[in-house]
Amino acid sequence: MNAPRTLYEKLWDSHVVRPMSDDTALLYVDRHLLHEVSTPQSFVALDKRGCGVHRPAANLAVPDHSVPTRHRDRPIADPQARAQAARLVENVERYGIPFIPLDDIRQGIVHVMGPEQGFTLPGMTLACGDSHTTTHGAFGTLAFGVGASECGIVMAAQALVQRKARTMAVRIEGSLPPGVGAKDVALAFIARVGVNGAVGHAIEYMGPVVRGFSMEARMTLCNMAIEAGARVALVAPDDVTFDWLKGRPMAPQGDLWEQAVSCWRSLPSDENAAFDREVTLDAGEIAPHVTWGTSPEDTIAIDQPVPDPAAVMDEQRRGRLQRALAYMDLEPGKPIEGTPVDMVFIGSCTNGRLVDLEAAADVVRGRRVAPHVQALVVPGSGLVKRAAEEKGLDRIFIEAGFEWREAGCSMCVAMNEDRLKPGQRCASTSNRNFEGRQGRGGRTHLLSPAMAAAAAITGTLTDIRKLEAMS
Amino acid sequence: MSEPLVRIASQAISLPDPNVDTDIIFPARFLLKIDRDGMADCLFHDRRFDADGVLQEAFPFNRPDRQTAQFLVAGPGFGCGSSREQAVWALTDWGIRVVIAPDFGDIFSGNAAKNGLLLIRMDAGRTAALAAKAERGAIFSVDVPARRFTVDNEEVCRLDLSDAMAEAFIEGWEEIDVILNREREHIASFEAGHRSRQPWLFANE
Ligand code: SF4
């Protein structure tokens, strides 16, 4: 009998081309997602060597990070962003890489588009020049973010030298209270272990809550694993996964589909497989969360006060918290609830999918955005946008005073014109509240789509549970 | 080729803040560049300059007596966050060749290794002691062939480098060349087996 293995170990073992040292191996990479920002220099490396792309069809490119979310009929206004988007087109044409152009309905954020097209499948390895590649782990895919050099290596050689991660089981037991969802679980987990808490680990999320989650919720959860330092996050594939993928354009068809599913059924961690670390969260105790500082670990439940750095013993940590409070212009000990916001952003690869927009629309329906607030909805892909419009969500948002935009990363990373002005405060469904992330001097509070919608309506950070009770 | 790293010695910059993420090291708006020119100008841009472009003298990278430093002593979690390799390119373009910290972002570590940036992991207490020495202007040095890391001629630790990694630093080899030169046949034979085990992964070719 073979020793019991975890899902991560099975994925790793089935892709080892050759061990390189005790804990590193040359790993075969099945697929590579490309976007305009992380790859221009990767192609220069290929050009310089004249080495070509090993399997063009194993790649898929799309512009998403710096694209405008308005006036798609016009050329991109920012000359640098225009040049970068044009460079991606030249590069993929030269190397014969499949490409989804900006005016295609399938265009969207790599981590929304990839799964949607069935490009992401269980059991495979997938790399992308973006740290939130953890998202794809929701399918039982060994997916990880890489830098530009590694993007070049994957294209040229279809393999990368990787360090084998230790394994961490994150069990979410019990059941979630009303008004609490995957984003709150993701934030509560980061608050528990810290932003470096899972460095060097591959997380596997498990337990009844995760099994009951939709694919979209699983993606939200895996998406934010990198904010705890984990380069890999996983959920074991099951019927929810297979039902979601079946019939997607790039998913296998017919006999191949049957073969694939029977292979994928052998992937879940064996009973008794040992993890290096285990963390358990009690779902029943998770409240709606919101970040108060400049790191995703600076997270509290919405009904808690802003923490007081004076209570922190470690000097360096105290200094960081003081700096974060000053940057965020918040007072220790005061409730976070009721803090006025200037901007609301609903979108990103964390929460830019149809179920996220539905959750926000449920809160918004029949209400109005507070007069001092600018609120944006940026769907994660053109297909999400169309599906939302078919359900009439666009009208709910627009009638309430939201702006309904085209798909892209937008205000998650502020590389296009959607960005905060210095001092502006934003309730955002994205994944990073770093200093300047949404625009220099901008202040970000991360929260769920329902909580973001509630903040848009009241104009302040709001406990969704109270707003629901009011209606 | 990245710049070979064999033996170097210089003063060190101390930046003890925890969780200095790659957005701080290299702000996103500069990612619109499509080449690798002028990377050093973007390094810690929004810490080195205020919103009006005024130089922030208190920021360690702005110290006039540290402009030729090749060592950085950083806090825990250095390089966490975004995968942008520009963070590494900006550090090396500025002149930093070695970073010492308790731990690093995983993707940042991978990127560093591909660009001749040597990362040394050391527990928080020892890192803090080195930071104090960096403040005082101690001379840090590494000798890659001898695997030595010293401060003011006192050995701090051995460098934990395999022969292959040391060779890559010394020769300035890029991993892409190593893989293309040495691994192509291994990859091809793995691929053939993989194709028969999981044919659906190759169905669209
Ligand atoms: S939405 Fe944000 S986090 Fe996601 S890929 Fe785009 S920039 Fe990165």
CB contacts, 8 Å: A231 with chain B = 106-107
Neighbouring C-beta atoms of residue A19, cutoff 10 Å:
11
Residue nearest to atom 2 of ligand 1 (CA): A412
The pLDDT value recorded for residue A470 is 63
Pair type for strands A374-377 and B140-143 = unpaired
A388's CB contacts (< 8 A; 6+ apart) are A354, A357, A358, A361, A379, A394
Query: Is B53 contained in some domain?
Result: yes
Index of the ligand 1 atom closest to the CA of residue A35: 5
For residues A325-341, average pLDDT: 98
- Please give the residue of chain B at the shortest CA–CA distance from A79: B32
Neighbouring C-beta atoms of residue B85, cutoff 10 Å:
28
CB contacts, 8 Å: A38 with chain B = 83-85
Looking at the structure, do residues B89 and B183 belong to the same domain, yes or no? no
Q: In what side-by-side order are the strands of the sheet with A343-346?
A: A403-404, A374-377, A343-346, A425-428, A443-446
For residues A158-176, average pLDDT: 97
Query: How far does A334 lie from chain B, in Å, by closest CA?
Result: 25
CB contacts, 8 Å: B110 with chain A = 146-147, 150, 163
A346 Cβ below 6 A of ligand 1: no
Domains of chain A, residue spans: 7-277, 290-470
pLDDT band (50, 70, 90) for residue B183? very high
| Residue-range definition of the domain harbouring residue B188 | 174-205
Looking at the structure, do residues B184 and B167 belong to the same domain, yes or no? no
A27 Cβ below 6 A of ligand 1: no
Give the global pTM. Answer: 0.96
Looking at the structure, do residues B68 and B86 belong to the same domain, yes or no? yes
Determine the Cα angle at A193 with ends A192 and A198, to 5°: 150
- ipTM at complex level: 0.94
For the stretch A59-93, pLDDT in tens is: 999 999 999 999 999 999 999 999 999 999 999 99
Query: Is B132 contained in some domain?
Result: yes
Query: Is B1 contained in some domain?
Result: no
Looking at the structure, do residues B120 and B179 belong to the same domain, yes or no? no
% of chain B residues with pLDDT over 90: 90
Inter-chain residue contact A434 with B81, CB threshold 8 Å: yes
Looking at the structure, do residues B95 and B59 belong to the same domain, yes or no? yes
Residue B7 has pLDDT above 60, yes or no: yes
Cα-flanking dihedrals φ and ψ of residue A289, to 5°?
A: -110, 160
The pLDDT value recorded for residue A471 is 55
Residue A469 has pLDDT above 70, yes or no: no
Index of the ligand 1 atom closest to the CA of residue A64: 6
Fold held by A7-277: Aconitase; domain 3 (3.30.499)
Look up the CATH number of domain A290-470: 3.30.499.10
A428 Cβ below 6 A of ligand 1: no
Residue A326 has pLDDT above 80, yes or no: yes
Looking at the structure, do residues B135 and B73 belong to the same domain, yes or no? yes
Query: Is B162 contained in some domain?
Result: yes
% of chain A residues with pLDDT over 90: 97
Neighbouring C-beta atoms of residue A466, cutoff 10 Å:
14
CB contacts, 8 Å: B34 with chain A = 40-41, 83-84, 87
Looking at the structure, do residues B166 and B143 belong to the same domain, yes or no? yes
Domain CATH code at residue B83: 3.20.19.10
CB contacts, 8 Å: B76 with chain A = 196
Residue A1 has pLDDT above 70, yes or no: no
Query: Is B55 contained in some domain?
Result: yes
The pLDDT value recorded for residue A2 is 79
Looking at the structure, do residues B74 and B46 belong to the same domain, yes or no? yes
The pLDDT value recorded for residue A315 is 86
A374's CB contacts (< 8 A; 6+ apart) are A342, A343, A344, A403
Rounded to 10 degrees, the C-alpha dihedral A324/A329/A331/A334 comes to -110
| Whole-angstrom distance, CA of residue A193 vs CA of residue A407 | 32
The pLDDT value recorded for residue B101 is 98
A109 Cβ below 6 A of ligand 1: yes
Looking at the structure, do residues B194 and B131 belong to the same domain, yes or no? no
Index of the ligand 1 atom closest to the CA of residue A111: 5
Inter-chain residue contact A130 with B83, CB threshold 8 Å: yes
Looking at the structure, do residues B161 and B185 belong to the same domain, yes or no? no
The reply to whether A7-277 and A290-470 are identical in fold is yes
For the stretch A271-287, pLDDT in tens is: 999 999 999 999 999 99
Looking at the structure, do residues B108 and B183 belong to the same domain, yes or no? no
pLDDT band (50, 70, 90) for residue A454? very high
Inter-chain residue contact B110 with A49, CB threshold 8 Å: no
Cα-flanking dihedrals φ and ψ of residue A106, to 5°?
A: -80, -10
CA distances from A428 to A139, A295, B33, B109 (A): 25, 14, 27, 29
Inter-chain residue contact B111 with A147, CB threshold 8 Å: yes
For residues A170-199, average pLDDT: 97
Inter-chain residue contact B176 with A152, CB threshold 8 Å: yes
Looking at the structure, do residues B106 and B185 belong to the same domain, yes or no? no
B57's CB contacts (< 8 A; 6+ apart) are none
Query: Over chain B, what is the mean pLDDT?
Result: 95
Q: How many domains does chain B have?
A: 2
